[in-house]
A and B are shown apart, each in its own frame.
Chain A
C-alpha cells in the first residue's frame, strides 16, 4: 500500500471534526469523560464548544475541590466519554457518603 501523507492528515482532521460535531450536538446534555491527566474524570453538562475544546460545567470530578465550575477539555485529551442522549442509559449517580 502506498503511503499517502495527505490522506493520513485528513483522517486526523475527520476524526477531530467528528468528535467536535458529536459534542456540539450534545450541548445541554450530561457527559462522562475520562482524561489521562489531572483530575482524570468529569461528569457534567456540556455548556458549549470553544473551537475544539468542550466546555462542561463539572458537577463531579475526582476531587471535590475542583467541582461546580466550568472546565475546558481539549478533544485530544478525551480518552473515554459517554453522552447521556435522551433515551440512553443514565450516567450512574455519584454521591458522597453523607
Chain B
C-alpha cells in the first residue's frame, strides 16, 4: 500500500506553557492540510499553547510504501532524514552526503521522498540540512517528528472523537485480531530557545538568576520556577515551599506538558523519542514496568531507561495501564535527572476508573475531555454521585496542597464516605484504592527513618556536613553514635513478599544554606519506590496531579505497602518531594528482591540479616552468591577538612554541575594516590597507597556474585566497568551479549551476575576520566585462602586454611607480574597461540586535512609498523588486534615513551579540564588493558591494582600478556591503565576483535593476510566473506590547529559561532571524532559557508574520517567502541541501515542507532541486508553521532560508500 503525506517545514512561534513562555524562532514539520490552520491559531494565541503545535507524528503499516512530498518554507536548505526506514540513499536520504545528489529541498522548493516501512516501530525523522548546535540550527528549534509503523492491517482513531486522524501524538491503534491500544508519542526535547512573556530568558525566582535551559516534552515544559512565582505572589497557598508541590494539580491545575489519558488496564505503548540535542535523559514512568526490548520476552524488565539523543524505544507497560494491581490515578512520567525534572521535563499518565464522555469536570472546574473506551475492552462504569471516579472522590481543596491519604499516617484520618465507596474491600494503610498485594502473601515489615548526619567521604576529610540518609530504626543509635559506618540503606526481601514500611521523618525542618545551596524548608519527605506494585494514590511517596500527597511530615510516621510479585532485582527508593534539593546529600537506597526462599547472611559473621550493601545469599536450590550494591553519585556537595567547598557552583542554588563524585558515600581521588615516586602507574596499587575507602567487594575464588548497580544522585551518566569479569547484558536470556561495561543514569538498576574465576584484585570503576580521577573506583577482592572476616558459601568447597600472610602496604611499587607463570582461567590445554608485538610510543597525529592535529599523540602499534609511522609513510590509526575463539593471544608490549614528548612537564594537565585539577605528572610507564577477554587478573589485565603485581612497563621494558579468546564476542575495547589522565585521550587506546574460530583476516585491497587494521575482510569457510569496519568513537582530545593554537572544542567548532553564554560542562570539553580523525565542520564552513553543503564531497572532498567502501549487498559488520574517555554519552547512527540491538538474539529489536556511547562500550552492528541496507541501494551513507550539541559539528561523522560499479582498488568479496 502507498501512503502519501504532504509535509511542510515552517517557522512557527512555539508557546511552551500557560505562563506564556515561548520560542519565537521555532520550527516544525506540519501536514499541509493543517498549515494554514496552525498558523492562524498561533497568530491569534501568541501566549497560549496551541494543540496543533506539536512534533509531527504520522503513521503507516509494516509493508507500506510511504511517499512524502516535502515542502521547505524555511530560509535554508532542509530535509527529512528518516531513521530505521529503507530508502534509496540517492533520492530519499534527506541529506546531502558525499557524492550523492542532494536530497535536501532548497528554501521554497519541494521534493518527494519514497520510503519503505519494513519494520514495525518508531521511525524518527529530523533535518540534517542545518546541524548548527546554536539557536540557528533546525533540530534544536523543533524540526523533528516521527513516522510510527504499526502492525500490518492496523488503523488508528482519535482517542477523543473516535474519528480517523492523519497525524497526532496520541492515537488509538486497532487491528482485526490484535488488541487495540493507546499510543502516545513522547518526544524529549532539550536546549530549545525559550523566552518569557517579556521576551527575556526566564528567571528563577529563588536564585534570581537565569533559569535552567529548556528541558521539555512535545514542545512543552512546566518548570518549577513558574509555579514558584504563584506561591511567592500569594496566588496559591503562600505557606508552601515549592518543590514539594511542583507536580500538584490541586495547587496549580494541570501542567501544559502531555497528559496521557487512558482507562485502567488499557493496553498502551509510549513511543519514546529523544529528539533533543545533547543530554542523555532517563525516562521514568511510575507504577509501570516494561521489557527493555519489547519483542524479546527474555530481555530485562525496566522501569527507567536512559536514552541518548536521536534514539528511541517503544515502552509497552506490562499488564496495561495501572499495572498488575490495577492502580488508578495520576502517574508521573519524567526525566529522572533532577535538574531536568525541575526544569519542566515531566508529564503524566492519567488512569481513569470511570467513563469520561465530556460531561465531567476536574475539581477546579476544568472540563475533562472525552476519552473513547477501546472497542475491544469492557466499557468503564459511568460516574455516579456516590462513585464519581478518579479524581472526584478525593477530598482536596483547589489552590491548596493535595490532601493527605486516608489510613496511611499513623494517628491520621480514616476515610470519607466517597473514599470508602472508591476503596478496595480490604483497604488498609498504604493500599486503599488498589490491592497491591495479591492474595495473602508473606508480609515483611521494615521500620525506616530518614535522618541528618555529617558524612565523611574519604581519608582526606572531604565531607558533607548536611548528609541525609535512610537508616533502619534498629540501627539509629549505632549509626548516630559512629559505631556503624553510614552506607546507603539496602534492604533484602524474597520475591513474593508483601513489604510494609513504617517510615519516620526525623529530618530537621530546614536544609541550611551554604556555597552550594540556598536555605530550603524541606519540611516533608517521602519514600518513593520503583518496580514494586503499589497503590499510586496513597503509596507513591510523592505528590502528583490530583493524587494525595503521600509524604510524611517531621516527626510523623507513615505506612506504605508494596508487593514484589517476582524476582525483580534491586529497586531504587528515594524522596520525591524535595529530591532536587536534598537527594544528593544521600537520600537514596534500594531493596533487592531476591529469589524466593533465599536466606540473607552477614558475610562477616554468618548471622541472618535483612539489609546491607554486601551480604551473602543462601538458597536451597540455586547456587549461593555474594550480593553487592554500588550507588554512584554526582552533585555530591562536599567540603574539604578546612571547610572549603569543593567545586561550588557559580552561585548558591545553581544546578550547573555543583560538587563532585562518589560511590556509596565514599570516594578515593587519584590525586591523593601518587605515592612517593609520583608515578600515576601505581595510583590503584594498595601496596603503594593502601586499600581505597570505597567499597571492596569480598568473595572467595570461584564464588558467584551479583552486583546491584544503581545511581543515587543526581544528573549525569556514568560508565561502570569491571576489569577481568564479564556478564550477560540481558540477564534472563541465554542468547545475550557479554559485557564488561554498563552505562547508567539515575534510577536505573542493573544486576550484573557473574562469578570470580580466580583469586586476585579486580578493579571496578566508573571509568570516564573525570569520575575515576575524583575517586569513583574500588576493588572486588577474591581470596584464595580462608580469611576470618568472610564466611564461605555453604555450597562451595571450603577455602584452604591460610598458609600465606595477607599482603601488606609497603609504600613501594609491587614486583612485576609474570604472565607466563599461569594460563587464563578458561583456556584449554595447548590452545592455538597467536602472538603480537606491540609498541607504545609518541607521535604527532594529523586529525584532518585542515591541519588540526595532536602534536603529543600516544599510540599503540605493531612493532613492524612503527618505523613507517614515525617516517610518515603510514598514518597512525587506533591499534586493532584480532583473535579467534579458542586462541591464546600473547601480546608483548614495549614502552618507548619519552618524558620530553609530554606537553605539560609541570604535571598539571589543563585542557580538556576535569574537576579538582591537581598535580599528576605523566607516567613513563604504560599498559594495555582489554575488556571482556578471559585472563588471569593478577598478570594480564594491564592493571596494577590492589595487591596485584605490576602489569605496566617502563621505557625499554616489555611484558607479554596472555589473553584467552573464550568466545567470538566481537568487539572488545583496549586502553592504557598506567595513566588515565595523561595517556588515554592522546590516543592510548584501540580495539580487540574476538572472531569466530577458523576466521582469517585480509587486506580489503590486496586480499593479503592482515595483521591489524580498521578495515579488513574476514574469510570463513562456513560464514563466507564479511567486510569488517572498526570505528573507535572517541572524545576528550586536545587538538591544535595548523598554527599551533589549542582548539577549545566544542565552542571553537560551533557554526556559525558560539554563543558566549553557552554552558560547557567540564566533560564536554575536548575535540572528538573517529579513529584519530575529526572532520570538524567549522573548517568546511569557513571555506564554503553553506550549511546544506557541509557533508558534500562534491564541494569539500571526502572527509578525513574513515570512508569505508563496499559493494551492494556485501555482508558488513561494524565493530564500534568508545575506549576513551569523557562522561558525555554519544549516539551512533548510520543512515539507511538497520541492525539487531543484540546481534546474538534473533528476537532482539531492530535499530539504526546505538546510544550510550561512553567509555568501555563495545558494540557489533551486523547490517541487515549488508551494504546498502535491505534493498542494497548504492550510494554514500553517513555514519555520525546523534548529538547535535556538540558532536556532529565537531567532526564526529564519516561515510560508508557503496559502489554500484566494480572498482579496480576494491576486489569483490567471495560470496
Residues of chain A touching chain B, judged by Cβ–Cβ distance below 8 Å, are: 62-65, 92-98
Contacts and interface: CB of A to CB of B under 8 A. Distances in A.
Given A94-B620, A95-B597, A65 B494 contact: no
A95 to B, nearest CB: 7
A97 B564 CA distance: 14
B441 A64 contact: yes
Contacts of B439: 64-65
B598 to A, nearest CB: 8
Given A96-B442, A97-B444, A98-B442, A62 B621 contact: no
Contacts of B441: 64-65
Contacts of B466: none
A65 B438 contact: yes
A79 B497 CA distance: 28
Given A62-B596, A64-B496, A93 B620 contact: yes
Interface string B612-625: 00000000110000
A96 B566 contact: no
A94 B599 CA distance: 11
Contacts of A93: 620
Nearest to A98: B442
B1185 to A, nearest CB: 42
Contact of A97 (B599, B620, B621): B599
A64 B442 contact: yes
A12 B599 CA distance: 42
Contacts, number: 35
B795 to A, nearest CB: 11
B24 to A, nearest CB: 56
A98 B496 CA distance: 12
B494 A97 contact: yes
Contacts of B494: 96-97
A13 to B, nearest CB: 30
Given A96-B596, A96-B597, A63 B496 contact: yes
A43 B1096 CA distance: 68
A1 to B, nearest CB: 25
Contacts of B438: 65
Given A64-B496, A94-B596, A96-B596, 20 more contacts: A62-B566, A62-B596, A63-B496, A63-B566, A64-B439, A64-B441, A65-B441, A93-B620, A94-B597, A94-B620, A94-B621, A95-B597, A96-B442, A96-B494, A96-B597, A97-B442, A97-B497, A97-B597, A97-B598, A97-B599
Nearest to B441: A64
A65 B438 CA distance: 8
A73 B362 CA distance: 52
Contacts of A63: 496, 565-566
A93 B621 CA distance: 9
Nearest to A63: B496
B298 to A, nearest CB: 12
A92 B565 CA distance: 23
Contacts of A98: 442
For the complex of A and B, 6 pairs with smallest distance between CB atoms: A92-B620, A96-B442, A94-B597, A64-B496, A65-B439, A97-B494
Contacts of A95: 597
Contacts of B442: 64, 96-98
Contacts of B599: 97
A48 to B, nearest CB: 26
A98 B441 CA distance: 11
A92 B599 CA distance: 13
A93 B599 CA distance: 12
Interface residues of B, number: 16
Interface-central residue, A62, A96, A98, by most chain B CB under 10 Å? A96
A98 to B, nearest CB: 6
A32 to B, nearest CB: 8
Chief secondary structure at chain A's binding surface: loop
A80 to B, nearest CB: 11
A64 B442 CA distance: 9
Contacts of B598: 97
A92 B444 contact: no
Contacts of B565: 63
A74 to B, nearest CB: 21
Interface string B492-521: 001011000000000000000000000000
Nearest to B492: A97
B848 to A, nearest CB: 55
Interface string B42-57: 0000000000000000
B443 to A, nearest CB: 9
Interface-central residue, B566, B596, B599, by most chain A CB under 10 Å? B596
Given A63-B566, A64-B441, A97-B442, A92 B496 contact: no
A97 B497 CA distance: 9
Interface string B476-497: 0000000000000000001011
Nearest to B496: A64
A71 to B, nearest CB: 17
A98 B493 CA distance: 11
A93 B596 CA distance: 12
Interface in B566-598: 566, 596-598
B912 to A, nearest CB: 51
Nearest to A94: B597
Contacts of A92: 620-621
A55 to B, nearest CB: 23
A83 to B, nearest CB: 16
Nearest to A66: B439
A64 B441 CA distance: 7
A69 to B, nearest CB: 12
Contacts of A65: 438-439, 441
Contacts of B620: 92-94
5 contacts: A96-B496, A96-B596, A96-B597, A97-B598, A98-B442
Contacts of B621: 92, 94
Nearest to B442: A96
B268 to A, nearest CB: 23
A22 B1043 CA distance: 86
Nearest to B438: A65
Contacts of A94: 596-597, 620-621
Contacts of A62: 566, 596
A65 B533 CA distance: 15
A18 B844 CA distance: 74
B1147 to A, nearest CB: 16
B568 to A, nearest CB: 13
Contacts of A96: 442, 494, 496-497, 596-597
Nearest to B621: A92
Nearest to A43: B621
Interface string B418-437: 00000000000000000000
Contacts of A64: 439, 441-442, 496, 596
A96 B440 CA distance: 13
Contacts of B596: 62, 64, 94, 96
A65 B565 CA distance: 10
Nearest to A93: B620
Nearest to B598: A97
B828 to A, nearest CB: 28
B594 to A, nearest CB: 9
A35 B514 CA distance: 60
A88 B656 CA distance: 67
Contacts of A97: 442, 444, 494, 497, 597-599
Interface-central residue, B439, B599, B621, by most chain A CB under 10 Å? B621
A3 B29 CA distance: 65
A96 B441 CA distance: 10
Interface in B546-569: 565-566
A84 B497 CA distance: 28
Interface in B1066-1109: none
A61 to B, nearest CB: 10
B532 to A, nearest CB: 15
Nearest to B494: A97
B162 to A, nearest CB: 36
B495 to A, nearest CB: 8
Nearest to B608: A97
